[in-house]
Amino acid sequence: MEIVLNSWLNSPERKEQYSAEDYYAGKHDILNRERTMIGAGGELEVITNVPNNKLVDNQYKKLVDQKTNYVLGKPLTISTGNEAYLELLDDIFNNQMHRKLRMLARHSVSGGIAWLYPYYNSEGEFKVELFPAYEICAVWKDRLHTELDFAMRYYSVSIYDENNRVNKINYVDVYTKDGIFHYRHQGGNLIPEENPHSHYMYVGEKGYNWTRLPLIPFKYNSDETPLISMVKTLQDALNQVLSDFQNNMEEDPRTTILVIKNYDGTNLADFRHNLATFGAIKVTTVDGVQGDVDTLNVEVNAANYQAILMQLKRAIVENGRGFDAKEERMDGDPNQMNIESMYTDIDLDVNAMETEFQAGFEELKWFIDMYLKHQGKGDCTKEKVEFVFNRDIFINEDAKIENCVKSVGIISNKTILARHPWVTNLERELAQLEEDKAAELDEMEAMSAFQNKNKNNNQNKPSSE
């Protein structure tokens, strides 16, 4: 177990997952860049007297947020034929759960995989905890990574000692079907804690374990490849070009190459100091040769930089399978075909992601069903449930509504309602329509009764002669 853990801690995959988190937070490699020159011995030497801008244009974060909001920006729609079961699921998949699922999607895209850990809180309520990819060392039973043998969670806790110094202690929790085993990781060794074992659940003093391993993988793709691996080199190039452009713009006569003719004095350091301090130099004429100072300037062509920057941004979008909402297809009043064309790449990517997430939700459903069963709320293990992702996509509402109107009488009203752009909850909308029809019928009956009453009153009224 120690060999597996230590190998995983130093693996390129985990380093890439940490790199993904850094890049999402704006901590890019460009921030560590140093300007260098070739020294006397042919080796590179760091120079500090030249501009060294370190600019970050975080297209990677934009791409991650794009995919996250596209797939889970809106709450899931849960569909099942059992109304009582649906109400129980709605209580669990509340706004807090949706927020956690959105964070799950973000970590899954960024790290290639993320994990949900179902558990009971102190009040006995069903909850889930999110573990990012770089915390979980998974040991799989099969080559396709569909079933876990066991898993280790590696995390650090900062503790203050009596001198207010921060000590970081590394812990390892090993998740098995027999419960959780707790260790400290020190010097590459696993040292058991004082209380080395705990159960997943407790009722009073008695502990219970799940019959399945309560760690559910939610993968970005079947290969568990993080998004950062597809765009990191392009993101680095974008930052470098942007920073180089700013460096070149800041080059002026006090920092560029100077050609000195008949300068009164030969100490170049003093020359630079006087130029930087006073902004002026003195020249002299020697043997009839006029003193002068010229500069060697490299012309900065902003158009060239702009073209490269645009190409890099487009490459990041294409390789990361995102979309550019500012592209030409979205000018004016775009039709639905142009909108759908813009979303082609992200749709293909998210289709694969949804397939992996559906497998995760299927596993999560089992834990929810066990919880409901133990709470005495019925056995729902055989109930069919569909988790529908409501993708957050730009649409031409006028065209969608017009198509819905044209479909009346051709397909069912339920199918039409499901595709109407203003409908967010189909079952609730159907129920509201029934209420509206019932209210309208009651109003018509009341009006008919009122008219009949007036008619009878007029017939019974004696006529005047």
What's the rounded Cα separation, in Å, for the pair 321 and 450? 64
- Does residue 461 register a pLDDT over 70? no
Q: How many percent of the chain have pLDDT more than 70?
A: 81
Asked if pLDDT for residue 465 goes beyond 50, the answer is no
Q: Specify which residues 208 forms β-bridges with.
A: 201
pLDDT, tens only, 314-334: 999 999 999 887 765 555 556
Question: Which has the higher per-residue pLDDT, 425 or 37?
Answer: 37
Q: CB–CB of 218/356 below 8 Å?
A: yes
Residue 186 confidence (pLDDT): 92
Nearest partner of 355 among 140, 71, 64, 143, judged by Cα = 71
For residue 287, name the pLDDT band (cuts at 50, 70, 90): low
Percent above pLDDT 90 for the chain: 51
Q: Which of 193, 174, 176 is nearest to 184 (CA)?
A: 193
Rounded to whole angstroms, the Cα distance separating 451 from 464 reads 23
Model pLDDT for residues 53-103, shown as the tens digit of each residue: 999 999 999 999 999 999 998 888 888 889 899 999 999 999 999 999 999
129, pLDDT greater than 50: yes
Given this model, what pLDDT does residue 372 score?
94
Tell me how far apart the alpha carbons of residues 314 and 326 are, in angstroms, rounded to a whole number: 11
pLDDT of residue 130 exceeding 90, the answer is: yes
Report helix, strand or coil for 449. Answer: helix
Q: Which of 168-172, 249-253, 352-356, 417-421 has the lowest mean pLDDT?
A: 249-253
Helix then strand then coil, in percent of the chain rounded to 5, is 45, 20, 35
Mean pLDDT of 146-153: 95
As a whole number of angstroms, the distance between CA 1 and CA 19 comes to 25
Q: State how beta strands 36-38 and 386-388 pair.
A: unpaired
Q: Pinpoint the alpha helices (H) of 135-181.
A: none
Where does 121-147 show beta strands of DSSP type E?
126-132, 136-140
Per-chain mean pLDDT for the chain: 85
**Cβ neighbours around 150 below 10 Å, total:** 19
* The pLDDT of residue 43 is above 60: yes
The helix or strand, by DSSP H or E, that contains position 192, with its residue range, turns out to be: strand 189-198
Q: Tell me the pLDDT tens digit for each residue of 333-356.
A: 565 666 677 788 888 999 999 999
Quick one: pLDDT band at residue 19, thresholds 50, 70, 90?
Answer: very high
Helices (H) and strands (E) in the chain, counts: 13, 16
Q: What is the mean pLDDT of residues 254-260?
A: 59
* Alpha helix ranges (H) inside 251-343: 268-278, 302-319, 336-342
Q: How far apart are CA 243 and CA 248, in angstroms?
A: 9
10 Å Cβ neighbour count for 66? 22
Residue 373 has pLDDT above 80, yes or no: yes
